[in-house]
């Protein structure tokens, strides 16, 4: 252990222990504060200055095998970033990445965990830089970009480190095995186990949550001894470039090969992810994105352990409300449908309610009235443009706009999407949600994901029918999240029962400051692996344990 590595263990062991406790108790835990006021006052302004400086330049990243520059990011707020990144010759980069793996493996689980926590700590100090980087690649509003791409992503990374450490230290690393032989002396063997990495891990980043969705796989793979090559989405390179640069700095300072983490930026359309995914050195892949590429990876990258998060049809079952909870529930739903223009893999899309309406207090609220109440709530929430943009952010890419246009012709429009003018970025595309009413029979409409601010009020025969439809749709088309609103314990129990089979994570009667869209590290799972939306979750043992392998030796003691 280098002196520095020992220091890092001493410094970060308490953090690791707290995270290990949190993944067992599942109680509230956060290591990296989500409130910007917990950070130095000058950090936000310094980061804004940094962002202006970095625009139009070559991002400094000294990696082996660089054979050119690439990068053509454009901010969803309406300007080109003009940043270029090193482009890698994989035949040079991958061998260089593999070179440091033996020393990294031999450092052992505790040192690797400490180095990973140090990387996360360094990233935490860069949270405002990452916030600007995320805002101008994902289109999130600044406040959300700060929390989601910064401390929340860092907490998810720490959670993955804790799970990796727990899995690798599930048993001793050496033992004396003594087998009794009756009256003869026992057989004694000295045994030793090491946690061996699989190889190089590939992280394929997404456009909307490059760090939040990228860190779990990245840190799970790194903590288990693998090298990690990060392939960002061509529209969202900067947040991961900052991440990779930080990881390389910390690795080097701790006495390890910085090439254990590298960036593989590509030009749009280059398809470097496919090339990487089929390289024999690549033994782990984490992917967030489209069904098309996720399915391709699962079927073709046979040499690798593949973790995917793909599309889904997140669903809400609307049954009944206490009269005094109803307004809060409407406001809550409106926010869920609006946050970051519903460009979240966890945002609701399919709202199932009986065609006869929902019960509010003692009365039945007809379908059309509920639709109108919900539309009004969204209108109230987003009535002021400045407030609206702080919630909505910007439309991440033209595909969302195209989908919105198509949705205008679907079913009966309950709420039309309107453009909002961003007070600071007039060229940004900002759009409010569209809500359409359709029938349960229109499965060809709601039976797939409409990524973006598009949701459907789906008329069913009854709540029982809603629950059945929920279970079937999610089993077939996937979902990460679900919600139910009901005053009936039986309906809630039936929805839970359907959930255990469908494998979405269910929120019940939420009206407060936590939304179904939100999944908190150390407590909430993100995905289950039971339905097509994801083949795993952040984070459980199934997500970390296959990233390394125990190998043993034994000899007479």
Q: Among residues 10, 14, 24, 405, which is the contact residue for a second copy, using CB under 8 A?
A: 24
Question: Looking at beta carbons only, is 349 or 518 nearer to a second copy?
Answer: 518
Secondary structure tally for the chain: helices H, strands E: 20, 24
Closest of 101, 201, 208 to residue 160, by C-alpha: 201
| Rounded CA separation 306/292 (Å) | 14
Question: Looking at beta carbons only, is 262 or 506 nearer to a second copy?
Answer: 506
Kindly write out the interface string for residues 283-322 of this chain, putting x where it contacts a second copy by CB under 8 A and - elsewhere.
---------------xx--x--------------------
- Interface with a second copy includes 545 (CB under 8 A)? yes
Q: Which residues contact 114 (CB under 8 A, 6 or more apart)?
A: 5, 8, 9, 11, 12, 13, 16
Q: Residue count of the chain, please give it.
A: 557
Q: Among residues 1, 175, 364, 443, which is the contact residue for a second copy, using CB under 8 A?
A: 175
Minimal distance, residue 477 CB to a second copy, in Å: 15
- Interface with a second copy includes 530 (CB under 8 A)? yes
Contact set for a second copy, span 473-492 (CB under 8 A): 492
Q: Are 411 and 442 in contact (CB under 8 A)?
A: yes
Contact set for a second copy, span 184-213 (CB under 8 A): 187, 189, 191, 193-194, 196, 198
- Interface with a second copy includes 170 (CB under 8 A)? yes
Q: Which span (52-60, 153-161, 411-419, 543-551) binds a second copy, by CB under 8 A?
A: 543-551
DSSP 464-503: HHHHHHHHHHHHHH--SEEEEE-S-HHHHHHHHHHHHHH-
Q: Which span (86-94, 137-145, 347-355, 506-514) binds a second copy, by CB under 8 A?
A: 506-514
Q: Is 411 left (phi over 0), alpha (psi -120 to 50) or beta?
A: left
Closest of 348, 316, 350, 346 to residue 538, by C-alpha: 346
- Interface with a second copy includes 99 (CB under 8 A)? no
- Interface with a second copy includes 105 (CB under 8 A)? yes
Closest of 312, 297, 106 to residue 217, by C-alpha: 297
| Rounded CA separation 56/504 (Å) | 43
Q: Which span (87-95, 120-128, 285-293, 517-525) binds a second copy, by CB under 8 A?
A: 517-525
Task: Give kind and range of the element (H or E) at residue 553.
Answer: strand 548-556
Q: Are 507 and 286 in contact (CB under 8 A)?
A: no
- Interface with a second copy includes 41 (CB under 8 A)? no
Instruction: Give contact residues for a second copy (rule: CB under 8 A).
Output: 23-28, 105, 166-167, 170-172, 175-181, 187, 189, 191, 193-194, 196, 198, 298-299, 302, 492, 496, 499-501, 503-514, 520, 523-525, 528-530, 537, 540-542, 545-546, 549-556
């Amino acid at each position: 252990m280098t002196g520095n590595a020992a220091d890092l263990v001493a410094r970060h062991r308490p953090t690791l222990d707290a995270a290990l406790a949190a993944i067992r108790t599942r109680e509230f835990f956060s290591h990296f504060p989500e409130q910007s006021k917990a950070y130095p006052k000058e950090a936000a302004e310094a980061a804004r200055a940094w962002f202006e400086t970095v625009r139009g330049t070559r991002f400094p990243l000294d990696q082996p095998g660089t054979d050119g520059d690439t990068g053509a990011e454009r901010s969803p707020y309406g300007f080109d970033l003009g940043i270029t990144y090193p482009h890698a010759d994989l035949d040079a980069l991958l061998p260089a990445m593999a070179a440091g793996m033996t020393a990294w493996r031999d450092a052992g689980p505790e040192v690797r965990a400490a180095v990973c926590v140090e990387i996360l700590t360094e990233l935490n100090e860069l949270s405002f830089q990452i916030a600007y980087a995320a805002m101008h690649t994902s289109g999130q509003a600044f406040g959300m970009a700060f929390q989601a791409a910064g401390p929340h992503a860092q907490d998810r990374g720490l959670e993955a480190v804790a799970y990796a450490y727990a899995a690798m230290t599930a048993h001793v690393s050496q033992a004396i095995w003594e087998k009794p032989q009756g009256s003869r002396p026992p057989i004694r063997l000295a045994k030793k186990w090491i946690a061996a990495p699989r190889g190089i891990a590939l992280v394929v980043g997404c456009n909307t949550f490059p760090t939040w969705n990228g860190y779990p796989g990245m840190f799970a793979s790194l903590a288990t001894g693998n090298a990690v090559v990060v392939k960002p989405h061509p529209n969202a390179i900067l947040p991961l470039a900052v991440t990779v640069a930080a990881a390389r700095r910390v690795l080097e300072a701790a006495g390890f090969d910085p090439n254990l983490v590298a960036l593989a930026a590509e030009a749009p359309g280059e398809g470097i992810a496919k090339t990487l995914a089929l390289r024999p050195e690549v033994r782990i892949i984490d992917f967030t994105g489209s069904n098309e590429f996720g399915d391709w990876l699962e079927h073709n990258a046979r040499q690798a352990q593949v973790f995917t998060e793909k599309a889904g049809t997140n669903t809400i079952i609307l049954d009944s409300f206490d009269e005094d909870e109803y307004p809060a529930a409407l406001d809550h739903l409106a926010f869920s449908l609006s946050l970051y223009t519903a460009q979240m893999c966890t945002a609701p899309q399919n709202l199932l309610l009986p065609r006869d309406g929902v019960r509010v207090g003692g009365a039945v609220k007809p379908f059309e009235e509920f639709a109108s109440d919900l539309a009004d709530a969204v209108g109230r929430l987003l009535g002021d443009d400045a407030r609206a943009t702080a919630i909505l952010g910007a439309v991440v890419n033209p595909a969302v706009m195209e989908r919105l246009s198509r949705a205008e012709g679907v079913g009966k429009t309950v709420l039309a999407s309107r453009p909002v003018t961003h007070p600071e970025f007039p060229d940004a595309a900002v759009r409010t949600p569209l809500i359409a009413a359709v029938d349960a029979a229109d499965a060809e409409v709601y039976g797939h994901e409409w990524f973006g601010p598009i949701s459907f009020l789906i008329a069913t025969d009854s709540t029982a029918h809603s629950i059945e439809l929920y279970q079937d749709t999610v089993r077939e088309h996937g979902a990460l999240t679900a919600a139910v609103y009901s005053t009936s314990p039986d309906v809630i129990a039936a929805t839970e029962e359907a959930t255990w089979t469908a494998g979405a994570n269910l929120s019940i009667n939420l009206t407060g400051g936590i939304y179904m869209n939100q999944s908190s590290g150390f407590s909430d799972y993100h995905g289950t692996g039971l339905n097509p939306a994801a083949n795993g979750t952040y984070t459980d043992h199934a997500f970390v344990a296959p990233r390394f392998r125990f190998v043993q030796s034994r000899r007479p003691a």
